[in-house]
A and B are shown apart, each in its own frame.
Chain A
Amino acid sequence: MAIQGFLVVSLLFSCLAATSYGLTFSSLQESLIVTASPKHGQVLSAGEDNIVVTWSFNKSLAAGTDSSYKTVKFKLCYAPVSQQDRAWRKTEDHLNKDKTCQHNIVTKPYSSSNNTFTWTVERDVPTATYFIRAYAYNSADHEVAYGQTTDAHKTTNLFNVQAISGRHVSLDIASICFSAFSVVSLFGFFFLEKRKAKMSQAK
């Protein structure tokens, strides 16, 4: 009982701690410029097509702003149209509750200019509309800045991904065969039952 009580209290504390610490998205500075190769409305196939991402520090901001940036993490984020009626993709200001960006692309060490990489859209990316966001982390692994391929209202430069369906011909055939087998067995049951009844009547 005492241990249960202790567990409950420590869980409550950790939850409180997490929420009270949490960084918010609105506190981050948009200091990175990120561009991606897909045009607005382009459809990419998961597992096949590539995205070329170019990123750099926004030179118009004061020099020294980026002194704390150590690594940059790129994520694939859902556009508002793909978040509608899907609470599991909701945007929240608290970064540790935010579910907008659920697919990691790559993590790169920070450098202020001439950065580019190519990424093949992975096979487990679902069908939806996306944009790309980069978070800059400091040495304590906390977000300090960000940059994204779309504007603040998330209306421009959105591209689509068409996912793999996961279906295979062999699966289709197996499903249909087993289903047919079940139905045929059912008729077999009825036939057997009628025969048993007739036999017992004849006795």
Chain B
Amino acid sequence: MWPSRLHKKLYVTPQSTISPFKLIAQAAECGQADCTRSQSVLRIWKSLKLANIQRLSNMEVSYGAPPESVQKKFALPVDSEHKATEFRLFSVAAPHMRAFHLSWVSFFACFVSTFAAPPLLPIIRDDLDLTATDIGNAGIAAVSGAAFARVAMGTACDLFGPRLASSALTLITAPAVYCTAIANSPASFILVRFFTGFSLATFVSTQFWMSSLFSSKVVGTANGVAGGWGNLGGGATQLIMPLVFDLIHNIGATKFTAWRIAFFIPALFQTLSAYGIFFLGQDLPDGNYSQLHKSGDKHKDNFSQVFYHAITNYRGWILALTYGYCFGVELTIDNIIAQYFYDRFNVNLHTAGIIAASFGLANLFSRPAGGILSDIMAKRYGMRGRLWTLWIVQTLGGIFCIFLGKVGSLGVSIAVMIIFSVFVQAACGLTFGIVPFVSRRSLGIVSGMTGGGGNVGAVLTQVIFFRGSRYSTETGITLMGIMIICCSLVIMSIYFPQWGGMFCGPSSKVTTEEDYYMSEWNSAEKERGIHMASMKFSENSRSERGRRVESAPTPINGTPSTYV
């Protein structure tokens, strides 16, 4: 840590008149590469480029921990980027924890709306005269929109900020939920489910927002809890909708009217959550994108470069495929499980809803647990531990899925379903323990691709196994389990030259984290200094080596070799 007198020397107050050149010289004097310093150097450099000394003197530039006045502004302890270093679940302090609660609640609302129809299908299928093919198509439509929308959302977050992007999407899909109440044919039913499903892209804005507000020490937890509690909506809706329907039916409405009125509840919830995000949320600790863009404090990256580096990284595609067989399976089950229990075991609508809900409700702990397990394995075994754990957990999920289709009695079926849900959701959490390390520059798009891959998996699975009457539902479930096991095998092909893969150790050529992440930037960009965030990340990611002896040196100024 810095000696205090040096700290005082380097800190610039608004009234100070230290020359920026002197600042840079002092920074260069200080020995090892410390990323906090290099980030501050970057800020000075940017300001000089804008040739606006007045703005510099108004800016706070600090080395090491931010000073007291900055610390007091935030309720949580923050690092030099003002990202929170602690995750306090029961706080609603602005901007960090408030944003966390707003984002998981709105993602939860979107899940509730998207899966509001399945628990009421036994009523809706009679009202709209749906066939099994129509129901299958509607289920596919519900999850297919978000496959593309999730990728687009990553870009939107980059351009407009997660706050505006997510509240806009939530608000624009709310009319689809309102209009479900006036659907009158199979075609209109499929359409409303299709447009409602777009709202599932708020997953990306949730993860993006958490990554902007929480430091790398707690970002895994923040992402895992936000993602898991949002997914909870898929389970909660199986409880909420039959209850709301019963209430309205008992008040006096006929069945065919009661289900329509019931849809206003998720629609209103979604609308209110969008309002909450817009008025109470904040993109970054220091302000919103629109203000920061205008003041020049935030640098806009080159979209085509970011996109190119995302799609040429094969690991992103593999994780997209495997996410399709944990999250995609979760979405599929959300669509079919209530009807499955209602039809196969002759339970009533209410009971089928409760059973189906317990699948999604396991998300309360199982997805966060997956993320935490990933971090625990990484501490000991590094990235290889994360990969092995993901493969084992996801394969076990596939095995229990096979059992679920085979079991013929109600009690055992429920038990197997719950075990299956824990493994499948933990696999989702484990996947997003690996995604942040695939790319630093293109994190938004890689997250979007993986998230979108989840939806593609849901579409594929429903098209092949759960549409029309070719397979009975129980056969479809068993076959889906076999497909999970087969598709999880590709995890074995993920290889990081600096950390290794499932079966190979790190590359015999000396490769470091810097080499991997710096190869996403060309030399012109490096000269402008915009690669500094990746530099800092490379250093932090050295923890993915696990506990083995750190043999690979850190190049200070080397020209990195391109990887794979």
Contact = CB atoms under 8 A, between A and B. Distances in A.
Interface stretch (A27-35, A83-91, A138-146, A149-157): A83-91
- For chain B, what secondary structure do more than half of its interface residues adopt (helix, strand, loop), or is it mixed? helix
A122 B260 CA distance: 19
A61 interface: no
B254 A166 contact: yes
Residue of B126, B294, B469 ringed by the most chain A CB atoms within 10 A: B126
B168 interface: yes
A167 B133 CA distance: 24
Contacts of A196: 288, 290-291
A11 B182 contact: no
A194 B288 CA distance: 11
B34 interface: no
A175 B172 contact: no
A128 interface: yes
B290 A172 contact: no
A175 B257 contact: no
Nearest to A127: B129
A165 interface: yes
18 contacts: A11-B411, A123-B254, A124-B255, A124-B256, A166-B254, A171-B182, A176-B182, A179-B179, A182-B175, A182-B274, A183-B171, A185-B171, A185-B274, A186-B171, A189-B171, A193-B164, A196-B288, A197-B294
Q: Which 6 A-B pairs have CB atoms at the shortest separation, nearest pair first?
A: A166-B256, A179-B175, A126-B126, A197-B290, A85-B131, A182-B174
Interface of B: 122, 125-127, 129, 131-133, 164, 167-168, 171-172, 174-175, 178-179, 181-182, 184, 254-257, 259-261, 264, 267-268, 271, 274-275, 278, 288, 290-291, 293-295, 339, 342-343, 408-412, 468-469, 472-473
Given A126-B127, A167-B184, A8 B167 contact: no
A126 B259 CA distance: 14
Given A179-B174, A200-B291, 12 more contacts: A15-B410, A86-B132, A166-B257, A168-B257, A178-B267, A179-B179, A181-B271, A182-B172, A182-B274, A189-B164, A189-B278, A201-B295
B187 to A, nearest CB: 15
**Residue from B181, B267, B408, B472 with most neighbouring chain A CB atoms (10 Å):** B181
Given A167-B182, A185-B275, A197-B294, A7 B172 contact: no
A87 B132 contact: yes
A174 interface: yes
Contacts of B411: 7-8, 11
Given A7-B411, A193-B164, A85 B271 contact: no
A193 B290 contact: yes
Contact of B133 (A85, A123, A186, A189): A85
A102 to B, nearest CB: 9
B468 A201 contact: no
B181 A128 contact: no
Contacts of A193: 164, 288, 290
Given A175-B182, A179-B174, A165 B127 contact: yes
A7 B131 CA distance: 36
A23 interface: no
Given A11-B412, A172-B182, A200-B295, A163 B171 contact: no
B127 A166 contact: yes
Q: Counting chain B CB atoms within 10 Å of each CB, which of A126, A164, A168, A183 scores highest?
A: A126
A126 B126 CA distance: 5
B260 A167 contact: yes
B183 to A, nearest CB: 9
B469 A171 contact: no
Contact of A85 (B278, B290, B468): B468
Given A85-B468, A88-B125, A194-B290, A166 B260 contact: yes
Main secondary structure of the interface of A (DSSP, over half): helix
A8 B412 contact: yes
Interface residues of A, number: 42
Interface string A106-132: 000000000000000001101110000
A178 B131 CA distance: 30
B124 to A, nearest CB: 10
Interface of A: 7-8, 11-12, 15, 84-88, 123-124, 126-128, 163-168, 171-172, 174-176, 178-183, 185-186, 189-190, 193-194, 196-197, 200-201
A85 B172 contact: no
Contacts of B294: 197, 200-201
A123 B260 CA distance: 16
Given A7-B411, A87-B469, A182-B172, A166 B259 contact: yes
Contacts of B129: 126-128
Given A126-B126, A167-B182, A87 B472 contact: yes
A164 B125 contact: no
Contacts of B342: 88
Contacts of B168: 186, 189-190
Given A182-B174, A200-B291, A171 B260 contact: yes
B182 A12 contact: no
Contact of A174 (B132, B264, B408, B412): B264
A171 B409 contact: no
Nearest to A126: B126
A185 B175 CA distance: 12
A15 B254 CA distance: 34
B472 A186 contact: no
A178 B172 contact: no
Contacts of A180: 175
Contacts of A181: 271
A128 B181 CA distance: 22
A175 B178 contact: yes
Contacts of B122: 88
A139 B219 CA distance: 68
A171 B180 CA distance: 11
Nearest to A10: B411
Nearest to A128: B129
A128 B125 CA distance: 12
A176 B182 CA distance: 9
B534 to A, nearest CB: 28
Contacts of A126: 126-127, 129
Contacts of B408: 15
A172 B261 CA distance: 10
Contacts of B171: 182-183, 185-186, 189
